[in-house]
């Protein structure tokens, strides 16, 4: 099943630099491999991460997105280069809202 997922930072302000955005995309690929999934499309901005992903039908998308955000936060905090930064008013990075939409997949006609 394919999903359109948008993650927003806790503060909805500029807190995702280009360096952090690229880090999130690279780590998302690794994390999704653990769910036997893959990224079909991706983008990030100053306060969001947008992924179009494909995962097997038996994956619980709610648990997967929760696990993805938790792992991204943890990996960022543990990164020796990026983890020691304060991202907004002295707070470490944190995700806020997450919006998930299933994308219907059309099957080719025979």
- Note the pLDDT tens digit of each residue in 54-73: 999 899 988 998 899 889 98
**Residue 84, Cβ neighbours under 10 Å: how many?**
9
Q: Is 45 inside any structural domain?
A: yes
Q: Is 109 inside any structural domain?
A: no
Structural contact between residues 51 and 5, judged by C-beta atoms closer than 8 angstroms: yes
Q: What's the DSSP call for residue 74?
A: H
Q: Can you tell me the distance from the alpha carbon of 60 to that of 7, in angstroms, rounded to the nearest whole number?
A: 17
Q: Is 36 inside any structural domain?
A: yes
Task: State the CATH number of the domain containing residue 79.
Answer: 3.30.70.1290
**pLDDT value, residue 86:** 60
Q: 19: domain range?
A: 2-103
**pLDDT value, residue 89:** 56
- Note the pLDDT tens digit of each residue in 97-108: 667 676 755 444
Q: Per the structure, how many domains does the chain have? A: 1
Q: Is 42 inside any structural domain?
A: yes
Q: Is 49 inside any structural domain?
A: yes
């Amino acid at each position: 099943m394919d999903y359109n997922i948008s993650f927003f930072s806790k503060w909805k302000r500029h807190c995702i630099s280009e360096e952090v955005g690229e880090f999130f995309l690279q780590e998302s690929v690794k994390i999704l491999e653990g769910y036997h999934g893959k990224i079909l499309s991706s983008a990030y901005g100053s306060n969001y991460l947008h992924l179009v992903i494909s995962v097997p039908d038996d994956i619980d998308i709610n648990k997967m997105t929760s696990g993805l955000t938790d792992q991204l936060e943890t990996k960022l905090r543990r990164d020796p280069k990026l983890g020691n930064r304060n991202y907004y008013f002295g707070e470490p990075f944190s995700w806020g809202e997450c919006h998930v939409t299933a994308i219907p997949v059309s099957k080719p006609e025979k």
